[in-house]
Structure 1
Amino acid sequence: MRRRLTYLPLTLFALVFCLPIVFMLMSSLKPDEQIFGDLETARAFLPVGDISLDNYAKVFDTVPAGRFMLNSVIVTAGIVLLGFLVNSLAGFALARLRWRFGPLVLTLVIATLVLPFETIAVPLLFWVSKLPWLTSNGFEVGWLDTYRVQIVPFIANGFSIFLFRQHFTSIPTELDEAARIDGCNWWTIYRRVAVPLSGPVFATVGLLTALPAWNSYLWPLMTVQDEKKRTVLIGVQYFFQLDIAWGQIMAYSSMITIPVLILFFAFQRAFMTSIASTGLKG
């Protein structure tokens, strides 16, 4: 009975937070007239009435949704994979190596979490606009309107470094000593000892990195004008230029939300394990 009383309010809260997603999914299957007609009734959350996939088909006539989703996959995968290498190495160095300025560097890493991205967006835009990438036929090719301008500034992440550092601190140092006796250097210890024991924290960092990368809006809006390089959230504004079709907006929103939900449920167990055992330690 005590367990039921505990789970009952949790279930009610979960249902409340799920209602907007259910409304979005159901509205994506209905014409605009029915969406507004069902707003004041429970039918807004049910698959009733004139149900079809027409809104999903019309999305591809309004925006290049497939291209936008491919771009988001490329950008998100680049940030996550490169972030795994950079942030885990930084966390490993802060956790296992004993060097003079280690505590100061850790303090600076944590201090970066205080600054919102909006405060550095304009200075960052100024600098990337000045960076050349290569010279082709006497012309310098810059960073704007590229994938790299959407990936490189977000590879290093203070919170990810902190999570990796906390996890690597929890690994017994005796493993390092045994590996050193066997002739392993620090790179080998990282690759063969630390990484194989860090599956949950990699899953957590991957999830926490992929979500903001997939949902990025401000930075792509500032740095990318080429439609072929734009990501999914930029596509939302296409629907508000002429006649607003709410059914298509709901369909497009569903298309870009479902991959995020799949990603979360796929790594849910590892995410919970890491947060419970690593992220709150220290």
Structure 2
Amino acid sequence: MDRYSKLSLAVRYLLLIWVALIFIFPVVFMVVSSLKPDLQLLQDSTSIRAFLPVGDISLDNYREAWERVPIVRFVFNSLFVTASTLVLSLFLCSMAAFAFVFLNFWGKSVLFSIILATFIVPFETIAIPMLMLVNNLPWIGLDGFEIGWMNSYQVQIIPFLADALTIFLFVQYFKDLPGEIVEAARVDGATWFQIYARIILPLSGPIIATAAILKFLVMYNQYLWPLMTTQSDQYRPVMVGLQYFFQMNTAWGEIMAYLSLITLPVLAFYLALQKAFISSIASTGVKG
């Protein structure tokens, strides 16, 4: 490696390190601030001390945050709603995309265009009509037949099972797969569901990981809809629980401690799926 190549490589690594620091600074600030009392936190926020664990360091904010809100319950609610929505959404959206790409039926292009058009509709414009709808829908649960989905898990899951972005991502990915494998499977007598489950899905590791990350972030960060549809701590997710710390006097240190705790599942999910994403790219392929 000549001198110019070494210099170019060094500059590239310096740029990557700088970009990594930009992204990691908010996490460092959050964790360090969670260890400081409010007064020191605000004083240090104007200097480099905001990123350093110096001064009056303790775990008091974590203890007080734990006593103020049922963190375990909120995290469980968010993870349950997110995981349920994620699994069902990936299944339904990938099946819809499979139909749009590999099946021929009347009005396919028009229907797909309508789905894409929902991109431009802000959720806030349909929140009130959705609220009125779910408040009058029937449901059969453990307590028997009842009217209305308010204050439940299904009201946070079912309205978000299908979305245009996830369907669009799967459609674009499925279009790049060789159509010959589907034709060969049909000649061998495979049903459409067998083709979907045994051929298409095993080749879709990268797009499944990508769609899962995007869906996870959207569902885990839900705030407006759960705030409108849940009134009990038994069903409320982590983002709604954040408002508890702004009642009376704002507890900034406890907020940072709470954010640090609820961020752990996000980081764990992302790191686990990142590994799966990389391995799926390495193993995905079509052999002739």
The two structures have a TM-score, normalised by structure 1, of 0.91
- State yes or no: 1:2 paired with 2:8: yes
In the TM superposition, residue 219 of structure 1 has moved relative to its aligned partner by 0.2
The one of 221, 224, 230 aligned to 1:215 = 221
Q: Deviations over 1:36-73 (max 9, x none)?
A: 23222211101222222221121111001110000001
Residue equivalent to 1:244 = 250
Question: 2-side partners of 1:45 and 1:30: how far apart?
Answer: 11
1:89-147 CA-partner distances (Å, limit 9, x unpaired): 00100111122211111111111111111111111111111112139999734200000
Distance 1:196 1:138 in 2: 39
Once the two structures are TM-superposed, the CA of residue 86 in structure 1 deviates from its matched residue by: 0.6
Identity of aligned residues (%): 49
Structure 2 CA distance, aligned partners of 1:135 and 1:270?
A: 36
**Mapping 1:193-272, distance limit 5 Å:** 193-268=199-274
- Number of aligned pairs? 275
Say which SS state the counterpart of residue 146 (structure 2) adopts: strand
Q: Is the aligned partner of 1:111 residue 2:120?
A: no
Q: For residues 91-110 of structure 1, what are the structure 2 equivalents within 5 Å?
A: 91-110=97-116
Q: Which residue of 1 aligns with 2:46?
A: 40
Taking the TM superposition and a 5 Å limit, the aligned residue runs for 1:71-90 are: 71-90=77-96
Which is worse superposed, 258-267 or 155-164?
258-267
Deviation at 1:7, TM superposition (A): 4.4
User: How does 1:46-57 map onto structure 2 within 5 Å?
Assistant: 46-57=52-63
Partner SS, residue 133 of structure 1: strand
**Aligned structure 1 segments of 4 or more residues deviating by more than 4 angstroms:** 135-139, 269-275
Structure 1 residues 268-279: aligned runs within 5 Å? 268=274
Structure 1: 5+ residue stretches without partners: 276-282
Deviates more, 1:183-192 or 1:171-180: 171-180
Residue in 2 aligned with 1:187?
Answer: 193
Instruction: Provide the C-alpha distance between the structure 2 equivalents of 1:265 and 1:135, rounded to a whole number of angstroms.
Output: 36
Amino acid at match of 2:154: R
Per-residue deviation, 1:270:
5.5
Matched residue SS, 2:119: coil
Unaligned runs of 5+ in 2: 1-6, 282-288
**1:93–1:255 CA distance, 2 compared to 1 (3 A):** same
SS at 2:133 equivalent:
helix
Over aligned residue pairs, what C-alpha RMSD do you find?
Answer: 2.2
Q: Could you tell me which amino acid in structure 2 is paired with residue 213 of structure 1?
A: M
**SS of match in other structure, 1:229:** coil
TM-score, with length taken from structure 2: 0.89
Q: Return the alpha-carbon distance in structure 2 between the equivalents of residues 225 and 7 of structure 1.
A: 50
The residue type paired with residue 245 of structure 2 is: F
The alpha carbon displacement at 1:25 in A equals 0.8
